[in-house]
Amino acid sequence: MTVGHKVLLADPELSYLSTLEIMLLREYGEQISLELVTDAQYLDELFKTPQQIDILVINEHLWKDDYQRQGISNVFMLRESETRGRSEQGFINIYKFSSAQNVINIIDGVLRRMVGEKQHMDGRLVLVYSPQGGCGKTTLAIGAARALQTMGNRVLYVDAEYLQSFGSLLGSTAWADRALVEELAVGRFTKETLERNIIKGEIDYLAPMQYSLLGNSLEDLNYVALIRIMLESLDYDFIIVDTSNDFNKCKMELIELSSQMVTPFTQDGCGAAVMEALLRNINVTDEKKYLLVCNMFRPGENNALVDSRIWHMITHQIPYQADIQTKDDVQDMFMELAYSLI
């Protein structure tokens, strides 16, 4: 194991840095080497010579473009306004005045990868499930996976729907091979088959079935054993599972297996009615596990949720993507959801 990865924290407020320092040392101890800097002049002097820094967390007002000469691959920019996502230089923005735990959570994915251990977070299953069809579930699942990957996490996306058509969203034409179909049928898997059917790219994903599950004599329940094996044997921080809108035994098993469940629905009468039905069958009052999302939200349109018991339980409102101005705004939108999953 590599010991002493260098982490430099730079901000004018020593008390702020001290809080981060305590939390990092409690989590990583001697696996990292920490330096705190509050003085801009000292920082200038420090960066006049080459430094071996693995992670730099720096206040935006202390940053200078000259510092890019250090070639630090992991730069987290503390912003004093609510800016999310990546900057033009590729730095990850963090809102400074969010909780200290949130700041730690954002840089944690990179740190865990560096020290070569999963630390407190083993592979976690995030189930994206909604009993409502047409609510943008797959777009939401892939968007959250991309955002988590951007934050330095290792993420695998798995589609367990009866018809798997997500490849168009990723620009992929790859299909699962026959060996995976056969292993799904019997519920026993080899690591070689799994790794061969994982497509590496902007996000990693399990190759989709070319034909429907029915056409392959499979059910969505066949995926439960597969996902259990993936959680145990594959080196991913998050496995995002996107599944069909049926409410059946498979969903109940995946809900029990999941660390968190993201449930999108729309603001119209259909969305409200379907979610009311779900709430009659599942207790979703644990806000840490169950994230209820009003997806494709349009403020100017009728909102059937406002007068229902659902509205106060909603954790995120994600706008209709056609109404969003830029690609960066879309990314920021999913980053907000990703922060809640860490």
Give the Cα separation of 229 and 194 in Å (integer).
Answer: 10
What pLDDT does residue 1 have? 37
> Which is more confident, 196 or 153?
196
Which comes out higher in pLDDT, residue 110 or 67? 67
Nearest CA to 97 out of 84, 109, 86, 81 is that of 81
pLDDT of residue 115: 73
Of the candidates 124, 99, 205, 106, the one whose C-alpha atom is nearest the C-alpha of residue 160 is: 205
What letter would DSSP give residue 90?
S
- Quick one: pLDDT band at residue 323, thresholds 50, 70, 90? low
Answer whether 86's CB lies under 8 Å from 152's CB.
Answer: no
Mean predicted confidence (pLDDT) in 323-332 = 59
| Residue 144 pLDDT | 92
Cα dihedral 85→155→163→293 (10° resolution): -50
At the fourth CATH level, which superfamily is domain 124-341?
A: P-loop containing nucleotide triphosphate hydrolases (3.40.50.300)
Identify the H or E element spanning 290.
Answer: strand 290-297
What is the structure's pLDDT at 86?
67
CA quadruple 280, 213, 231, 335: dihedral positive or negative?
negative
Residues sharing a CB contact under 8 Å with residue 103, sequence separation 6 or more, in sequence order:
20, 57, 78, 94, 96
Segment 294-302 long-range contacts (CB within 8 Å, at least 24 positions apart) = 294/264, 294/265, 294/266, 294/267, 294/318, 295/135, 295/136, 295/137, 295/140, 295/264, 295/265, 295/266, 296/135, 296/136, 296/266, 296/267, 296/320, 296/321, 297/267, 298/267, 298/323, 301/267, 302/267, 302/268
pLDDT at 210 over 70: yes
Q: What is the pLDDT of residue 4?
A: 75
Compute, in degrees rounded to 10, the torsion defined by CA atoms 10, 15, 20, 23: 150
Residue 331 has pLDDT above 50, yes or no: yes
Residue 184's pLDDT band (cuts 50, 70, 90): very high
Listed range (110-119, 268-277, 294-303) with the worst mean pLDDT = 110-119
Assign a CATH topology to domain 5-115: Rossmann fold (3.40.50)
| Those residues with Cβ within 8 angstroms of residue 258's Cβ, 6 or more apart along the chain or in another chain | 125, 126, 127, 241, 289
Site of tokens 């009659």: 280
Task: Out of 76-90, 196-210, 303-317, pick the least confident.
Answer: 76-90
- Enter the pTM of the model: 0.69
The rounded mean pLDDT for the chain is 87
In whole angstroms, what is the distance from residue 46 CA to residue 51 CA?
Answer: 8
pLDDT at 169: 82
91-130 pLDDT per residue, tens:
888 889 877 877 887 887 778 777 764 444 457 999 999 9
Contact between 203 and 157 (Cβ < 8 Å)? yes
- Local structure of residue 322 (DSSP, 8 states): G
Find the mean pLDDT for residues 334-339: 80
Q: In a 3-state reduction of DSSP, which class is residue 156? A: strand
The reported pLDDT for the residue numbered 95 is: 86
Q: Under DSSP, is residue 35 helix (H, G, I), strand (E, B) or coil?
A: strand
Q: What is the pLDDT of residue 312?
A: 82
CB 268 within 8 A of CB 304: yes
What's the mean pLDDT in 7-15?
Answer: 96
Q: Quick one: pLDDT at residue 313?
A: 84
Whether 179 and 188 have beta carbons less than 8 Å apart is answered as: no
Q: What is the pLDDT of residue 150?
A: 79
Residue 328 confidence class, pLDDT cut points 50, 70, 90: low
Domain boundaries, the chain: 5-115, 124-341
Token pair 């994230």 in the structure block, residue: 291
Percent of the chain at pLDDT above 70?
A: 92
pLDDT of res. 84: 61
* Minimum mean pLDDT range among 1-15, 37-51, 189-203: 1-15
Residue pair 32/5 in contact by the 8 Å Cβ criterion: yes
**Is it true that 5-115 and 124-341 share their CATH fold?**
yes
At 6, the pLDDT band (50, 70, 90 cuts) reads: very high
pLDDT at 297: 86
Q: Which carries the bigger pLDDT value, residue 145 or residue 316?
A: 145
Q: Count Cα neighbours of 14 within 13 Å in the Cβ-side half-sphere.
A: 2
Contact (CB, 8 A) for 203 and 122: no
